[in-house]
Amino acid sequence: MFPILFGIGFGVLIFSNVLSYLLYYFPIHTKSIFVGLILGCIPTLIKDVNSKKSFKLHYIIYTLIALLIGFLSVYLEKTLCIANNIDSNFFYLMFCGFAMSIGIVVPGVSSTIILMLLGSYNIYLSSISNINLNVLIPMGIGILIGSLIFMKITKFLLNNFYAQTFFAIIGFTLGSILVILPNISFNIFGIISILCICLGFFISNTISNR
């Protein structure tokens, strides 16, 4: 666990400032790369589940249900009002960390998307950059509690409902794209955004197949 945790901590410290800069100055293109990265992992998920369990048509139902939950999540994110003083709300930050742990434990689910959905991603990046312990401590507590719980749940589901779980994960992955999908226009910037999606897909798919 130590080398993995060390790599996570080092990567977060290095890339938090980079991502903050990119999201501020190039939000559409950065989000387009995120979309590509998410799409790029889906073929690997499908290949993995088909290598262990033969495909059955009713598995699609799990994908559709998870995709519907993703649609509803986007709707709630647009309609619910997130308080401006989120960074001072200890229990909400702990909940964000708890939810973030799903993306850490469950394969194919992005913790970045979860934080964007909860409206706390920018606060998270800023707190990492400035070492804001008032935000990092409650989120860390939530991540620790959530990781222990979701590891048990995920292990149980994968041991007993392997194919169903993975097809549900694919649905959640597709649904999460709606949170960050940028408004792509058919001009030079739109073409660059599409190229960014393709670049993200290529990078993610290449890494996933190694």
Written as tens digits, the pLDDT of the chain (210 aa) is 778 778 877 877 777 778 878 888 888 888 888 888 888 888 887 887 877 777 788 888 988 988 887 777 666 655 554 544 555 688 888 998 998 888 888 765 667 777 877 778 878 888 887 788 888 899 999 999 998 998 899 889 888 888 888 888 888 778 777 767 766 677 787 788 889 999 989 998 888 776
* Total domains present in the chain: 1
Give the closest residue to 105 by CA, choosing from 146, 134, 69.
146
Largest CA distance in the chain: 49
Domain hosting residue 139, numbered range:
2-208
pTM of the prediction?
0.67
C-alpha to C-alpha distance for 78 and 72, rounded to whole angstroms? 10
DSSP notation for 86-130: GGG-HHHHHHHHHHHHHHHHSTT--HHHHHHHHT-HHHHHHHHHH
